[in-house]
Homo-oligomer: A and B are copies of this chain.
Amino acid sequence: METYKEWQHAFKLDPNRPIGDDAIEKICESGTDAVIVGGTDGVTLDNTLYLLSRIRQFAVDCALEISNLDAVTPGFDYYFIPTVLNTGDSDWIVGKHHEAVKAFGETINWDEVVVEGYCILNPDAKAAQLTEAQTNLSIDDVSAYAMMAEKMFKLPVFYLEYSGQYGNIDIVKKVRSQLKETKFFYGGGIHHKKQAEEMAQFADTVIVGNAVYDNLKEALRTVRAVKKVKNGD
């Protein structure tokens, strides 16, 4: 129950990007705590199921981060639902969620659902453009979003998403200082173990995505780097 609260490291795989069986095995057997399945575009039921079936051959936790209702399927340990805090478009805060709950609410197992308060900070990221995220934020702006997630909405997760860009460490530190109950997920621009080590000092969970596709060998090293910082071994 709620093992996601203990995750220190996770890989994020995009159903819309091809990846070999050998790579999936290495990822799932890397010692990472979880594999999150999610992407911004081209996510379909078919490619989600295909990726799920390959990950499920291993014992690692597996979560679906929902971006497209048509691609939702049973079989995941968790269903992560982003609510984007730094957007002016209400669809990405509560609008699409309302459609989904109206259509499927009675069949949802809410124990498996985890709402993530997203703050998207790389203006060039597809997710930022799609959600019209306001990325030109000060440290105080981001800190206030983290406080809203923790204190106002009591969300289980605050996700600082630099998607494709390595984060501003001062912002990361400030977010860390705001979060006690809400788990701090950090994602973006982690390609080497040094970066993973740095972020692991502050985030509860360090999430490695693109690196898997760009340089798997380096990506796999981030697992041990995070574990070393967290557990000292």
A residues contacting B by CB (< 8 A) are 81, 85, 87-90, 93-95, 97-98, 101-102, 105, 108, 110, 113, 115, 140-141, 143-145, 147-148, 151-155
Contact = CB atoms under 8 A, between A and B. Distances in A.
B151 A97 contact: no
A102 B144 contact: yes
Contact of A113 (B88, B110, B152): B152
A36 to B, nearest CB: 19
Contact of A144 (B89, B105, B110, B115): B105
Contact of A85 (B98, B147, B154): B98
A110 to B, nearest CB: 5
26 contacts: A81-B152, A85-B98, A88-B90, A90-B90, A90-B93, A93-B94, A97-B148, A97-B152, A98-B141, A98-B144, A98-B145, A98-B148, A101-B144, A101-B147, A101-B148, A101-B151, A101-B152, A102-B140, A102-B144, A105-B143, A105-B144, A105-B151, A108-B151, A113-B151, A113-B152, A153-B155
Contacts of A90: 87-90, 93
Nearest to A142: B102
Contacts of A110: 151-152
A14 B115 CA distance: 35
Nearest to A151: B110
Contacts of A88: 90, 95
Nearest 5 A/B pairs, CB to CB: A102-B144, A101-B144, A110-B151, A90-B90, A105-B147
A17 to B, nearest CB: 29
Centre residue among A101, A140, A154 by max chain B CB count within 10 A: A101
Contacts of A143: 102, 105
A102 B141 CA distance: 6
Contacts of A81: 152
A115 to B, nearest CB: 6
Contacts of A98: 85, 141, 144-145, 148
Nearest to A95: B88
